[in-house]
């Protein structure tokens, strides 16, 4: 167990504050907000609290999406170098003890991992963890969803970039459009609300379907999230292919002038909108044209055990190696805290990012 008695916890947290380079003004502000301070190990030098951990369960995927995986595929990490289930759960427990209250399981495609149900069931037991989410391509979703819900899955994001079956096959280099739609319908049937649908918009490929995706939200509690096309290794990103949030918004407002902005949480990545009278809503993830780095609360753990403090940053630290060399909880926290402390104020900007070396998206985990 990672939970010391309350008196020890207070001493431990106070010790954390002394060890972390946070300005006095930031420290007093954070202390004032809560009965106990949020873990200094997960608070960066700009006062951002990282309460959201994304864990990649696998590098494998049953699709080959153009923006995620190079056409020639990727070299997979040998199985022995991937985190074991016990290691995933040990690290999750440690992060939750320090204040993470939301974990999202990603991949690759997380639902092809054989023990995904066991992992969710074990995560559900962690005191303090409020939300367990999964991002999936939806191919196996309809079949697995009843057991996923029973295991404790709270939220679903389903990737879908077109509503045209032939185009789907072109984008993902595989068949399966109807399986994904069946998964979305099953999620709605089982009461998931909202069901989030992630759509990466690429000029010349699917920007002509934006209005069709918005129309999906009329009768069903679907939240379509339009994502600006982002540069990663091997996805042939260029500026001309990117459709900005503002351009998408203008397109939608021509069809639905009454489109209204809806409130979102401080750390939400999507700017939320709704057509009055529609059951669902739409969101825009404007990572390139209008970044939200200032409110970032996310950390990423790759399938091979590396901690990434920024999706677009190329610096990583291996928690797997530390675990396997016998690191104690305190030593792991020191390493995590140092990595979080080095997190930059914002990413380098889309043109610089397009020239930087980074993993392909499939090897990061979204």
pLDDT for 21 beyond 60:
no
Q: Is pLDDT larger for residue 255 or for residue 173? A: 255
At residue 291 the predicted structure's pLDDT band, cuts being 50, 70 and 90, is: low
Give the pLDDT confidence score for residue 240 in this predicted structure: 80
Segment among 109-118, 124-133, 293-302 with least mean pLDDT: 293-302
160 and 201 in contact (C-beta within 8 Å)?
no
Amino acid 24: pLDDT: 30
Average pLDDT over residues 260-273: 90
**Is the pLDDT at 360 greater than 60, yes or no?**
no
Sheet arrangement for strand 271-274: 260-261, 271-274, 281-285, 222-228, 195-201, 155-159, 131-136, 102-106, 52-56, 298-301, 306-308, 317-318
Q: Is the pLDDT of residue 151 over 90?
A: yes
Q: Distance from first CA to last CA of the chain, Å, rounded?
A: 29
What does the pLDDT read at residue 242? 87
pLDDT tens digits, one per residue of 307-324: 999 876 777 999 999 999
Question: Quick one: three-class SS letters along 202-260?
Answer: ECCCCHHHHHHHHHCCCCCCEEEEEEECCCCCCCCCCHHHECCHHHHHHHHHHHCCCCE
C-alpha separations of 159 from 130, 198, 218, 262, 339 in Å: 23, 5, 19, 22, 30
Alpha-helical (H) ranges within the chain are 6-19, 24-33, 85-97, 116-124, 141-151, 165-172, 177-189, 210-215, 245-255, 319-324, 329-341, 350-353, 361-364
Over range 65-90, report the average pLDDT.
86
Q: What is the pLDDT of residue 3?
A: 40
Average pLDDT over residues 156-182: 94
Average pLDDT, integer, range 37-48: 91
Whether 366 shows a pLDDT value over 70: the answer reads no
The mean pLDDT value for 231-255 works out to 80
The Cα–Cα gap between 81 and 366 comes to: 20
Confidence of residue 279 (pLDDT cuts 50, 70, 90): very high
Instruction: Select the more confidently predicted residue: 191 or 351.
Output: 191
pLDDT at 120: 98
- Please tell me the least confidently modeled range out of 84-88, 203-207, 247-251: 203-207
**pLDDT over 80 at 237, yes or no:** no
Mean local confidence (pLDDT), 262-289: 91
Which pair of tokens denotes residue 349? 């900007």
Q: Residue 92: what pLDDT?
A: 98
88-126 pLDDT tens trace: 999 999 999 999 999 999 988 999 999 999 999 999 999
Count how many residues are written for the chain. 366
Please tell me the number of Cα atoms within 13 Å of 199 on its side-chain side: 31
Other C-beta atoms within 10 Å of 261: how many? 10
Q: Is the pLDDT confidence value at 18 over 50?
A: no
- Is 187 a residue whose pLDDT tops 60? yes
Q: Which of 162, 153, 179 is nearest to 62 (CA)?
A: 179
**Alpha carbon distances (Å) from 294 to 44, 129, 247, 340:** 11, 24, 23, 14
Give the mean pLDDT of 270-286.
96
Map tokens 């993902």 to a residue: 172
Q: What backbone torsions phi and psi does residue 174 show, to the nearest 5 degrees?
A: -150, 165
DSSP per position, 49-62? B--EEEEE--S--S
Helices then strands, counting H and E runs in the chain, come out as 13, 12
257 phi and psi angles, rounded to 5 deg = -60, -25
Contact in structure between 240 and 190 (CB atoms under 8 Å):
no
- Mean pLDDT of all residues in the chain? 84
Banded model confidence at residue 179, pLDDT cuts 50, 70, 90 = very high
Residue 69 has pLDDT above 90, yes or no: no
Q: Give the pLDDT confidence score for residue 349 in this predicted structure.
A: 54
C-alpha closest to that of 340 among 101, 21, 4: 21
């Amino acid at each position: 167990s990672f939970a010391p008695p309350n008196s020890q916890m207070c001493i431990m947290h106070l010790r954390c504050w002394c060890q972390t380079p946070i300005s006095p003004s930031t420290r007093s502000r954070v202390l004032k907000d809560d009965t106990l301070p949020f873990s200094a190990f997960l608070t960066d030098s700009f006062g951002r609290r990282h309460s959201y951990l994304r864990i990649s369960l696998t590098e494998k995927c049953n699709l080959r999406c153009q923006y995620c995986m190079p056409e020639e595929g990727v070299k997979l990490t040998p199985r022995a170098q991937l985190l074991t289930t016990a290691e995933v759960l040990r690290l999750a427990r440690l992060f939750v003890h320090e204040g993470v209250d939301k974990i999202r399981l990603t991949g690759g495609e997380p639902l092809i991992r054989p023990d995904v149900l066991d992992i969710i069931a074990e995560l559900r037991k962690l005191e303090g963890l409020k939300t367990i989410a999964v991002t999936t391509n939806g191919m196996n979703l309809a079949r697995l969803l009843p057991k996923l819900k029973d295991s404790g899955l709270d939220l679903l994001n389903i990737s879908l970039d077109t509503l045209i079956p032939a185009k789907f096959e072109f984008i993902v280099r595989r068949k399966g459009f109807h399986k994904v739609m069946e998964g979305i319908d099953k999620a709605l049937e089982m009461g998931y609300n909202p069901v989030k649908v992630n759509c990466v918009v690429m000029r010349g490929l699917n920007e002509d379907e934006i209005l069709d995706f918005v129309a999906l939200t009329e009768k069903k509690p679907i939240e379509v999230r339009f994502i600006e096309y982002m540069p990663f290794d091997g996805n042939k990103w260029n500026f001309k292919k990117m459709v900005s949030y503002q351009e998408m918004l203008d397109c939608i407002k021509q069809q639905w002038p009454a489109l209204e902005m809806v409130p979102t949480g401080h750390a939400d990545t999507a700017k939320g909108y709704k057509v009055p009278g529609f059951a669902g809503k739409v969101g825009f993830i404007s990572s390139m044209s209008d970044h939200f780095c200032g409110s970032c609360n996310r950390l990423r753990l790759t399938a091979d055990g590396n901690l990434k403090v920024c999706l677009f940053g190329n610096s990583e630290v291996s928690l797997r190696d530390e675990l396997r060399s016998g690191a104690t909880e305190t030593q792991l926290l020191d390493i995590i805290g140092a990595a979080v402390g080095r997190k930059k104020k914002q990413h380098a900007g889309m043109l610089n990012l397009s020239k930087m070396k980074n993993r392909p998206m499939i090897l990061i985990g979204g």
